[in-house]
Structure 1
Amino acid sequence: MVNVPKTRRTFCKKCGKHQPHKVTQYKKGKDSLYAQGKRRYDRKQSGYGGQTKPIFRKKAKTTKKIVLRLECVEPNCRSKRMLAIKRCKHFELG
């Protein structure tokens, strides 16, 4: 179990000094329907013929690396950066 505080004083690249940062967990955005690979895949899948690309089934890892999203709390800065920490099964903020 990894418990990370919701705020952290760390270096801000934009301010050029240590500032308090708000910590949240990074989440992947929604996949775009219009990315080149998705358009190509949809075109290939359409019509008769079943699944055309291999479906990956040999997953090796049971956990993902946790990525923290740090946002500077300075009102006129608000710069954001990512910070990866180690793998863990259980993660919580606060």
Structure 2
Amino acid sequence: MKIELFVLAVIGVLHLASSISVDDLDAKWIKYKNDFHKKYEDPTEEARRKEIFKLKLIDIEEHNAKYKQGLVSWYKSLNQFSDLTTQEFADLQGDTEVTLL
């Protein structure tokens, strides 16, 4: 049963990932960098941050689709931390343990 749920979750994420066009992602990335005054050391670091951002964006869009269906009671949005990994965010907050759901 757990494996089936995991497979369904992966399929859902892959579906959302395929629904974000490169142009849409690029436009959202540029807006994000401008909105939060983001600058990166080099192209490699920027590519890494963009990939993290993309995963967060997919998660947000998946969650907000559930919100629109009334399945969850709150709405997610991008913020200044959307280019950080969960561990990096926890480190900034002083958390020593990170729990991934």
Tell me which interval the TM-score lies in, with the shorter structure as reference length.
under 0.3
- Give the structure, 1 or 2, with the largest relative contact order (CA under 8 Å, sep 6 or more): 1
Larger Cα-atom Rg: 1
| TM score, norm. by length of structure 2 | 0.22
Structure showing the higher helix proportion among its residues: 2
